[in-house]
């Protein structure tokens, strides 16, 4: 697969565009791309473009857009991940792998046991950072649609849309994930932070229509639980 770059702009075959500076830096100093190399561009609005590097001048890379390819690599399932915010790289890893596994939307929530507790401008900056993680994951895995990271809210502020199958990942649940009734094509998965959701938070999810389910007898880390559930869901109902 040719190196892929996301560009938030209208794209048209036969035109020339310029990569953003951060993408250009990655292309030159990490991927070691040169003039004439083939690349792929997408803008999240459907399909992708076969393209070629026309010129490189410092951190300015001009790209010739050659042909639009109406290819999509989205999951047949629409999955929203409600993820308790974890600290640092654990949250980045969860978001990255969730995108690779086809998640359509990420709703970060601050739980009582969340170690990281960004608020105000810091919360906005974390959301922007996670959205960049999403874009990088799409560039890597071949997705041409960009999942959205929703604004950070507390567990008590979270309200489900009321559609789809809702599953609360809980090590205390009696029902195993594989025995869950996984009907339809729309799902909401809720996964806790480092020390999990409190009993009160789990009760609130249950009251909102979530069914608790366990991923096995071992207690999984926060950056393992959601990814494991998404992989299992893909195997049971998705495109794996």
Distance (Å, rounded) from C-alpha 5 to C-alpha 24?
Answer: 9
pLDDT at 180: 79
Q: How do residues 2-57 score in pLDDT, each as one tens digit? A: 999 999 999 999 999 999 999 999 999 999 999 999 999 999 999 999 999 999 99
Q: How far apart are the first and last CA of the chain?
A: 20
Q: How many CB atoms lie within 10 A of CB 56?
A: 18
Backbone angles phi, psi at 148, to 5 degrees: -100, 135
When the pLDDT of each residue in the chain is averaged and rounded to a whole number, the result is 93
pLDDT at 119: 82
- Is residue 182 within 8 A of residue 233, CB to CB? The reply is yes
Fold of 4-69: Ribosomal Protein L25; Chain P (2.40.240)
So what CATH class is 78-237? alpha beta
Distance (Å, rounded) from C-alpha 235 to C-alpha 231?
Answer: 6
User: What mean pLDDT is predicted for residues 74-80?
Assistant: 95
Q: H-type helices in 178-221, by residue range?
A: 199-207
* DSSP-based three-state secondary structure for 64: strand
Distance (Å, rounded) from C-alpha 209 to C-alpha 159?
Answer: 11
- Whether the model clears a pTM of 0.85, i.e. scores above it, the answer is yes
Residue 134 clears pLDDT 70, i.e. is over it: yes
pLDDT at 46: 93
Lowest mean pLDDT among 50-64, 81-95, 158-172: 158-172
Residue 240 clears pLDDT 80, i.e. is over it: no
Label residue 116 by pLDDT band (50, 70, 90). confident
- What stretch(es) of the chain map to CATH 2.40.240.20? 4-69
- What stretch(es) of the chain map to CATH 3.40.1280.10? 78-237
């Amino acid at each position: 697969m040719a190196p892929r770059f996301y560009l938030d702009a209208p794209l048209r075959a036969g035109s020339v565009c310029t990569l953003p500076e951060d993408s250009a830096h990655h292309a030159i100093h990490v991927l070691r791309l040169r003039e004439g190399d083939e690349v792929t561009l997408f803008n999240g609005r459907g399909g992708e473009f076969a393209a070629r590097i026309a010129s490189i001048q410092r951190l300015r890379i001009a790209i010739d857009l050659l042909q639009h390819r109406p290819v999509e690599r989205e999951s047949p399932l629409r999955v929203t991940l409600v993820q308790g915010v974890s600290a640092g790289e654990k949250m980045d890893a969860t978001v990255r792998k969730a995108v690779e596994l086809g998640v359509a939307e990420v709703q970060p929530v601050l739980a009582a046991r969340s170690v990281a507790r960004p608020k105000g401008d810091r919360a906005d900056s974390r959301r922007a950072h996670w959205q960049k993680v999403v874009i990088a994951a799409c560039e890597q895995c071949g997705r041409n649609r960009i999942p959205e990271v929703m604004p950070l809210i507390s567990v008590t502020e979270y309200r489900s849309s009321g559609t789809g199958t809702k599953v609360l990942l809980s090590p205390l649940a009696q029902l195993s994930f594989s025995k869950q009734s996984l009907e339809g094509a729309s799902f909401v998965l809720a996964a806790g932070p480092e020390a999990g959701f409190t009993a009160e938070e789990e009760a609130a999810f249950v009251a909102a229509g979530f069914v608790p389910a366990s991923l096995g007898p071992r207690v999984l880390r926060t950056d393992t639980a959601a990814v494991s559930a998404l992989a299992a869901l893909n195997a049971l109902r998705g495109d794996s």
